[in-house]
Amino acid sequence: MGHPRHQDGAAILLEKQCHSFLDKKVSTCYMIELMGTRSRMSREERRKLILIRVRELFAHKGLHGATTRELAQSAGISEGLLFKIFPTKEKLYHDMLALFSDNMSEKTKKIMSLRPSASTLVLIVHLLVSELISVRLTERDDFIRLYLRSLAGDGEFARHVLEETDRQVIPMLRANIKAAIASGDVMDSPVPHHLRAWFTDRLPFVIMTDFVPSAPVLNYGVSREKLVKHVVWFLLLGIGMKEESIRRYYNARALTILKR
């Protein structure tokens, strides 16, 4: 069997391996140097892999807690090469955060282009819940682990994630809640619109954390598909949507737009 560095796509494969091993020891991500593939990678591929490698350290220690030496060790390169690619630690940190920010799905972009309404609100809530709960993705599990580690540390990483949510998701939810109230599909209540939006975003995320371990920590007693439907119903009722409106807008026919 030939050395792995002679295999086509070795750098891409190793990047995926490093990504999936983020919750293990940093040393597992030294493969790319040990196997001699670094020279085969483009500057952009190397840059992205460095960002993937250092984000666990940043999530655990924060911008100010992580030393340049530790960052270079995590990246598997020398400090000199690290700062040749990223001039400052702050630049490295913010580029790492940007890697997470630039991940809006095509479905989400499509929903954001729709006119605010009760039917659009239903689609948004279903999309939020289904993308977090229905399918297990290693990348998403790693992201949650990083988020939780950040909460146990200085919270910088988690704070950035929520700032992005406040910039992209919350205004979209608020606009659609307001439109649904105006159309009579959602009842007004003492709960402010922005809190209804945040509660809608946070609950699916918390439920998603139960599924991160290989054996989920909580058995909800239903399939993932049914769990998604139950959570969507719960959230829409919590927002204040009337049952007849939920039944009108939350059905297989209405969701076909997400499959186009």
In one-letter notation, the amino acid at residue 73 is: Q
Alpha helices in the chain (DSSP H): 10-20, 31-34, 43-65, 68-75, 79-85, 89-101, 106-112, 118-133, 138-152, 156-182, 193-209, 224-239, 243-249
Give the number of domains in the chain: 2
Q: In angstroms, how far is CA 168 from the centroid of its own chain?
A: 13
Task: Judge if 78 and 149 occupy the same domain.
Answer: no
Task: Judge if 227 and 247 occupy the same domain.
Answer: yes
Burial 134-143 (b: 16+ CB within 10 A, else e): eeeeeebbbb
Residue 146 belongs to domain spanning: 106-259
Task: Judge if 150 and 23 occupy the same domain.
Answer: no
- Token pair of 64, please? 């100010």
Q: What is the mean pLDDT of the chain?
A: 82
Task: Judge if 89 and 119 occupy the same domain.
Answer: no
Last residue of a domain, one of 101, 121, 139: 101
Quick: pLDDT tens for 32-51.
Answer: 443 344 456 788 888 889 99
Quick: pLDDT tens for 119-171.
Answer: 999 999 999 999 889 877 776 777 888 888 889 888 888 898 899 899 989 99
Per-residue model confidence (pLDDT) at position 124: 94
Residue 101 has pLDDT above 70, yes or no: no
Per-residue model confidence (pLDDT) at position 2: 41
Task: Judge if 97 and 114 occupy the same domain.
Answer: no
Per-residue model confidence (pLDDT) at position 220: 96
Last residue of a domain, one of 43, 77, 101: 101
Residue 27 has pLDDT above 70, yes or no: no
At 76, give phi and psi (nearest 5°): 75, 25
Residue 94: pLDDT band with limits 50, 70, 90: confident
Task: Judge if 48 and 142 occupy the same domain.
Answer: no
CB 50 within 8 A of CB 75: yes
Task: Judge if 32 and 79 occupy the same domain.
Answer: yes
Task: Judge if 221 and 179 occupy the same domain.
Answer: yes
Averaged pLDDT, 15-39: 42
Residue 20 has pLDDT above 80, yes or no: no
Per-residue model confidence (pLDDT) at position 9: 44
Per-residue model confidence (pLDDT) at position 125: 96
Residue 201: pLDDT band with limits 50, 70, 90: very high
Per-residue model confidence (pLDDT) at position 104: 61
Task: Judge if 97 and 110 occupy the same domain.
Answer: no
3-state secondary structure of 241: strand
Last residue of a domain, one of 101, 117, 147: 101
Quick: pLDDT tens for 61-87.
Answer: 888 889 999 999 999 999 999 989 999
